[in-house]
Amino acid sequence: MMMSNGIEDEEKWLAEGIAGIQHNAFYLHRALDSNNLREALKYSAQLLSELRTSRLSPHKYYELCKVLHMRAFDELRRLEIFFKEEDRHGCPVIDLYELVQHAGNILPRLYLLCTVGSVYIKSKEAPAKDILRDLVEMCRAVQHPVRGLFLRSYLAQVSRDKLPDIGSEYEGEGDTVMDAVEFVLQNFIEMNKLWVRMQHQGIFYEANVSFGDRDPELKPSFGVSGLQGPHREKEKLEKERNELRDLVGKNLHVLSQIEGIDLEMYRDTVLPSVLEQIVNCKDELAQYYLMDCIIQVFPDEYHLQTLETLLSACPQLQPTVDLKTVLSQLMERLSNYASLNPELLPEFLQVEAFSKLSNAIGKVMEAQVDMPVVGAISLYVSLLTFTLRVHPDRLDYVDQVLGACVKILSGKPKLEDSKATKQVVALLSAPLDKYDDIVTALTLSNYPRVMDHLDAGTNKVMAMVIIRSIMKNKSWVSTSDKVEVLFELIKGLIKDLEGISTDELDEEDFNEEQNSVACLMHMLYNDEPEEMLKIICTVWKHVMSGGPKRLPFTVPSLVFSALKLVRRLQGQDGDVGGEEVPATPKKIFQLLNQIIETLSVVPAPELALRLYLQCAEAANDCDLEPVAYDFFTQAFVLYEEEVADSKAQVTAIHLIIGTLQRVNVFGVENRDTLTHKATGYSAKLLKKPDQCRAVYACSHLFWVDDQDGIKDGERVLLCLKRSLRIANAAQQMTNVTRGSSGPVTLFVEILNKYLYFFEKGNPQITASVIQGLIELIKTEMQSDNAVVNPVSDAFFTSTLRYIQFQKEKGGAMGEKYDSIKLGG
């Protein structure tokens, strides 16, 4: 209840204060309109007396002063105009200046004195510096922190356009820029003292005051909020102080607007005075805010030239001051300045900006021994960002920053703090974003050392960032040494790190990661075959450490990279002497055999079979018959022993047939052996339709247009007849099991094969044979137990239409087809 009453009392006092301001403002307005000086002074003093209350907290007091600034200060400006017009009130300004000093209460007296003082300066009847010195000294009379802050804030406001600055009408006759600087600095120092003193003032209002008591001379004392406990009370007080900080900071803004402050004056007078006050006040809130103000309001050029002075103050601040934010903002300002003014980059080198910033960060960390890791890393992230923007060509600077982070992280366990981890990722990502080239990052010796301190999960995230950067920027990694460093960086994706097993990973995430690694392998390239082979061997070494689950993703990319190298070396036999055997097709094929064999531990027989066939085709192009035969042998062994699924067998046999058709390196004996195996396995497939299609596909093994000598029409016909028998058997089996004939699709497919070889000039395929097959299909379609199948019917109709087209085309082909009768 007491707390509630205290809040209600504050609201009542605030409302009464605002009402008093409005009441006196009304009578002040009337006095000004009637040119009545005495009444104007009376009501302006009464209006300003509302600021003398001690019952309000700084926050409520601030609300009251905001009303005053909006309403009363408008009236004070009118009062100022009234004071300037001597003919309206008949009192010289010097007498007026003396007159207002006889006001009954100190606070209204000084507000009026500042108002008249502004008029006095404008009249130029006395040197501006004397009046300003007089005003700033007289304001010492108010030592109540909140009242004093607002009073001096008003003084700064009314005097800012009357300072003796260069080009100002108040300069000259003894008034100099230094006078203006001294005035603002003195006002700033006094305001900061008042602001800091607020933390020791306690509570600014009474809890035991009755509703009707409005004694303006109440002294500050501890009241209701003392019941809230010391911690709550301190938090509230700090919040209230924070709301008043701009009143102090405006002085620094005024200083930054004085045109006469050049670099020399700033370096020798302004900055040392401000920093001295900041250091000596020993207040965390004031030190942080005022350091931030310095960075924000003064020119970047001045910061660059006074960097050492500014940074030297940082270690002297309170240990709890958030220096990482202060320094980060300073480095951001300087880096933006460098980006916008590239011609000034030599100045950064001249003043040794990087070294000074780096040393300052080190001293701050020595002074703030309890600084958390996230704070220290964030400082170096800012320093790295500064370095990359200002000195992008100085990789030694970049590596130095990374080395400093390694020192911070050394001796500590893997990072588990998410914020610290995020900062390390930002640190590692910055060079990638800047250089658009992973090769540059690979030259940084401390880069992998920083990554070692990441936990396994974040290490993988960073590895994905690296891979995406390479793919996005199309960065080629061209030496085995750089590949070694790269794969060390992405080892979180290459193998299981401590604490994480592949069995624990989400399958979708795992697949995405391994596909990224597979894509990465295609970005590893060198024009020199020997170096490219070293790259392949280096990758193979790392891939082997990844366990069987990763091999199906990584082995194919590695195999195709090696095959790409083989085709570049096509024609070399590799029998070259010397200590270091150069890259040759034979040597690479030996390596490929070893690589593909590892898939047996997965197991992945279908994938291995495909890769063996790819290698066989490449060996054919290199005219290496024994090598090609060996790869085909390996493929057949896998087919016999490992491929058990019927669908996989169908796919595998068609792959074997298709590859064997394209190979032309074999002699008669080897080719007969392989084609015999292919046709034999085709006829042993589980399903009759699969047998039929595989067997008629084998017909292409005996008739290849672009290869001399492989035109065995009899064996083509044997394959087609065998496929026709199998199709007929399948038709009969369907009739037995289902009571109806199956579709004639297989017969139509075989008819199309007959037409193909007929057109190619196979003498064994005659028009009469085709005619007989057409009649067979028609008979099957017209049988009593035939089932209508629109797809098969359309297929057959389309085939007949093709024959008719060839008949009508004329020429030699037309004559060949002429004897085929389609009938109705």
Q: What is the C-alpha separation between 291 and 326, in angstroms, rounded?
A: 7
pLDDT band at 105 (very low <50, low <70, confident <90, very high): confident
Question: Given a cut of 80, is residue 418 above it in pLDDT?
Answer: no
Q: What is the pLDDT of residue 125?
A: 84
Percent of the chain with pLDDT over 90: 45
Q: What is the pLDDT of residue 741?
A: 57
Q: What is the pLDDT of residue 740?
A: 56
Give the torsion sign (CA, 563, 568, 571, 574).
Answer: negative
Q: Which residues of 47-84 are buried (b: 16+ CB within 10 A; e: fewer)?
A: bbbbbbbbbbbbebbbbbbebbbeebbebbebbbebbb
Give the DSSP H/E element, type plus range, for residue 616.
helix 605-621
Name the β-bridge partners of 524.
477
pLDDT band at 210 (very low <50, low <70, confident <90, very high): very low
Question: Given a cut of 90, is residue 758 above it in pLDDT?
Answer: yes
Mean pLDDT of the chain: 84
Question: Given a cut of 80, is residue 9 above it in pLDDT?
Answer: no
* Whether the Cβ atoms of residue 604 and residue 616 lie closer than 8 Å to each other: no
Question: Given a cut of 60, is residue 769 above it in pLDDT?
Answer: yes
pLDDT tens string 323-340: 889 999 999 999 999 989
User: Nearest CA to 517 among 609, 545, 504?
Assistant: 545
Look up residue 562 and give its amino acid.
Answer: A
- The residue with greater pLDDT, 403 or 13, is 403
DSSP letter string, 709-731: T-B-HHHHHHHHHHHHHHHHHHH
Question: Given a cut of 60, is residue 542 above it in pLDDT?
Answer: yes
pLDDT band at 423 (very low <50, low <70, confident <90, very high): confident
Q: What is the arithmetic mean of pLDDT over 534-562? A: 92
Q: What is the C-alpha separation between 338 and 23, in angstroms, rounded?
A: 56
pLDDT band at 789 (very low <50, low <70, confident <90, very high): confident
pLDDT band at 750 (very low <50, low <70, confident <90, very high): very high
Distances (CA, A) of 617 to 609, 614, 663: 13, 5, 6
Q: What is the arithmetic mean of pLDDT over 495-503? A: 66
pLDDT band at 58 (very low <50, low <70, confident <90, very high): low
Distances (CA, A) of 505 to 299, 458, 518: 53, 14, 18
Q: What is the pLDDT of residue 502?
A: 59
Intra-chain end-to-end CA distance of the chain, in Å: 108
Q: What is the pLDDT of residue 208?
A: 32
Q: How many CB atoms lie within 10 A of CB 741?
A: 18
Q: What is the arithmetic mean of pLDDT over 210-215? A: 33
Least confident stretch, 717-731, 739-753, 756-770? 739-753
Q: Which residues of 764-778 are buried (b: 16+ CB within 10 A; e: fewer)?
A: bbbeeebeebbebbb
Q: Can you read off the two tokens belonging to residue 116?
A: 């008249």
pLDDT band at 218 (very low <50, low <70, confident <90, very high): very low
Task: Give me the long-range contacts of 595-602 (CB less than 8 A, separation at least 24).
Answer: 595/540, 595/555, 595/558, 595/559, 595/562, 596/555, 596/559, 596/634, 598/544, 598/551, 598/555, 599/551, 599/552, 599/555, 600/642, 601/548, 601/551, 602/548, 602/549, 602/551, 602/552
Question: Given a cut of 50, is residue 540 above it in pLDDT?
Answer: yes
Q: What is the pLDDT of residue 143?
A: 87
Helices (H), 90-218: 93-99, 106-123, 128-138, 145-159, 177-201
Question: Given a cut of 90, is residue 52 above it in pLDDT?
Answer: no
Q: What are phi and psi of 808, to 5 degrees?
A: -80, -15
- Mean pLDDT comparison of 117-126, 169-178, 704-713, highest-scoring range: 117-126
Q: What is the pLDDT of residue 3?
A: 45
Q: What is the pLDDT of residue 186?
A: 95
Q: What is the pLDDT of residue 578?
A: 41
Q: What is the C-alpha separation between 186 and 188, in angstroms, rounded?
A: 5
Least confident stretch, 66-70, 432-436, 480-484, 583-587? 66-70
What is the 8-class DSSP label of residue 402?
H
Q: What is the pLDDT of residue 223?
A: 37
Q: What is the arithmetic mean of pLDDT over 428-449? A: 84
pLDDT tens string 274-317: 999 999 999 999 999 999 999 999 999 999 999 999 999 999 99
Q: What is the C-alpha separation between 152 and 751, in angstroms, rounded?
A: 105
Least confident stretch, 30-34, 139-143, 344-348, 714-718? 30-34
SS3 category, 218:
coil
Q: What are phi and psi of 524, to 5 degrees?
A: -100, 110
pLDDT tens string 365-398: 888 888 888 888 899 999 999 999 999 888 999 9
pLDDT tens string 682-697: 999 999 999 999 999 9
